Amino acid sequence: MLAELGLAILWMAASLAGLQLIAGSFSLTKDGDGLGAIVRPVAIVQGVLVALAFASLIMLFVETDLSVKLVADNSHSAKPLIYKIAGTWGNHEGSMLLWVTVMGLAGGIVAAVERRLPERTMMATLAGQAFVSLGFYAFLLFASNPFQRLSPAPQEGNGLNPLLQDPGLAFHPPTLYLGYVGLSIAFSFAIGALVTREVGPAFARAMRPWVLGAWIFLTLGITAGSYWAYYMLGWGGWWFWDPVENASLMPWLAATALLHSVSVLAARNALRAWTVMLGVVAFSMSMIGTFLVRSGILTSVHAFAVDPRRGGFILALLAINIGAALVLFALRAGTVTEGERFEVTSREASLVFNNVMLSCILGIVLLGTLYPLVTEAMGVKVSVGPPYFTPMSAVFAVPMLVVLAIGPMLRWRHDRFARVRAVLAMPLGVTIVAAVGFALGGVRSPMALLALSLAPGLGVASLLPLRGRHLARAPLSLWGMVVAHVGIAVALFGMGADAAFTQQRLLAASVGQSTQLGPWRITLASIEPVAGPNWTALEADLSASYAGGAPVHLHPQSRTFWAPPQTTSVSALHTVWNGQLYTVLGEETHDASSAATPTGRWQLRLWWKPFVPMIWLGGILVALGGLLAMVSRVRQDLKRRSVRTRSRERKA
Partner 1 sequence: MIRAAVCALALVAAPVVALADDTMPPAPYAYRQLDDPVKEAKAQKLMETLRCLVCQSQSIADSDAPIAGDMRNQVRLRINAGEDPEAIRQWLIQRYGDYVSYAPRVTASTWPLFAVPGGLIVVAAAVMRRRLAKRKNA
Partner 2 sequence: MSNEVNPAKAPRWTLWLPLALFLGFVVLVAAGLMHPRDTDIDSQMIGKPLPAFSLRAASDGRDGLSTSDFRQGKPHLLNIFASWCVPCGVEAPVLAQLQRQGAIIDGIAIRDHKADLNAFLAKNGNPYQKIGADDVSAVQLAIGSSGVPETFVIDGKGIIRYQHIGDIRYEEIPMMMQKLKDAES
Binders of partner 1 among residues 6 to 65 (CB under 8 A) are none
Site string for partner 2, 372-391 (x = CB under 8 A): -xx-xx---x----------
> Which residue's CB is nearer to partner 2, number 310 or number 609?
310
Whole-angstrom Cα distance, residue 27 to residue 30? 8
Binders of partner 1 among residues 123 to 162 (CB under 8 A) are 161
Query: Cis peptide leading into 174, omega within 30 of 0?
Result: no
Binders of partner 2 among residues 308 to 327 (CB under 8 A) are 308, 311-312, 315, 318-319, 322-323, 326-327
Burial of 487 by CB count in 10 Å (0-12 exposed, 13-18 middle, 19+ buried)?
buried
* Contact indicator for 506, 521 with CB cutoff of 8 Å: no
Among 34, 80, 341, 425, binds partner 1 (CB under 8 A): 341
Whole-angstrom Cα distance, residue 615 to residue 611? 8
> Which residue's CB is nearer to partner 1, number 547 or number 595?
595
277 binds, among partner 2, partner 1, none (CB under 5 to 8 A by kind): partner 2
386 binds, among partner 1, partner 2, none (CB under 5 to 8 A by kind): partner 1
428 binds, among partner 1, partner 2, none (CB under 5 to 8 A by kind): none
* Contact indicator for 274, 359 with CB cutoff of 8 Å: no
Query: Which residue type does 634 have?
Result: V
Among 564, 594, 649, 652, binds partner 2 (CB under 8 A): 594
Binders of partner 1 among residues 515 to 544 (CB under 8 A) are none
> Which residue's CB is nearer to partner 2, number 531 or number 592?
592
Whole-angstrom Cα distance, residue 384 to residue 380? 13
Q: Is residue 334 part of the contact set for partner 2 (CB under 8 A)?
A: yes
Q: Is residue 329 part of the contact set for partner 2 (CB under 8 A)?
A: yes
Q: Is residue 245 part of the contact set for partner 1 (CB under 8 A)?
A: yes
Query: Which residue type does 73 have?
Result: D
Q: Are strands 535-546 and 520-531 parallel, antiparallel or unpaired?
A: antiparallel
> Which residue's CB is nearer to partner 2, number 45 or number 288?
288
* Contact indicator for 255, 183 with CB cutoff of 8 Å: yes
Site string for partner 2, 291-310 (x = CB under 8 A): xx--x-x-x--------x--
Tell me the closest approach of the beta carbon of residue 331 to partner 2, in angstroms.
8
**Residue 263, helix vs strand vs coil:** helix
Tell me the closest approach of the beta carbon of residue 360 to partner 1, in angstroms.
5
Among 58, 195, 288, 615, binds partner 2 (CB under 8 A): 288
Q: Name the DSSP class of 339.
A: B
Q: Are strands 557-561 and 535-546 parallel, antiparallel or unpaired?
A: antiparallel
> Which residue's CB is nearer to partner 2, number 346 or number 359?
359
Instruction: Calculate the alpha carbon distances from 391 to 372, 387, 395 in Å.
Output: 19, 7, 6
Whole-angstrom Cα distance, residue 263 to residue 278? 13
- The 10 Å CB-count burial string (b at 16+, else e) for 209-242 is bbbbbbbbbbbbbbbbbbbbbbbbebebebbbbb
Instruction: Calculate the alpha carbon distances from 597 to 416, 559, 586, 590 in Å.
Output: 76, 21, 17, 6
Binders of partner 1 among residues 566 to 585 (CB under 8 A) are 566, 568-569
Tell me the closest approach of the beta carbon of residue 349 to partner 2, in angstroms.
11
Q: Is residue 636 part of the contact set for partner 1 (CB under 8 A)?
A: no
> Which residue's CB is nearer to partner 1, number 172 or number 633?
172
382 binds, among partner 2, partner 1, none (CB under 5 to 8 A by kind): partner 1
> Which residue's CB is nearer to partner 1, number 197 or number 302?
302
> Which residue's CB is nearer to partner 2, number 472 or number 595?
595
* Contact indicator for 409, 464 with CB cutoff of 8 Å: yes
Binders of partner 2 among residues 225 to 284 (CB under 8 A) are 271, 273-274, 277, 280-281, 284
Whole-angstrom Cα distance, residue 396 to residue 400? 6
**Residue 87, helix vs strand vs coil:** helix
375 binds, among partner 2, partner 1, none (CB under 5 to 8 A by kind): partner 1
Closest by CA to 288, choosing from 323, 240, 261, is 323
Q: Is residue 349 part of the contact set for partner 1 (CB under 8 A)?
A: yes
Residues that bind partner 2 (CB under 8 A): 271, 273-274, 277, 280-281, 284, 288, 291-292, 295, 297, 299, 308, 311-312, 315, 318-319, 322-323, 326-327, 329-330, 333-334, 336-338, 352, 356, 359-360, 362-363, 366, 370, 373-374, 376-377, 381, 592, 594-595
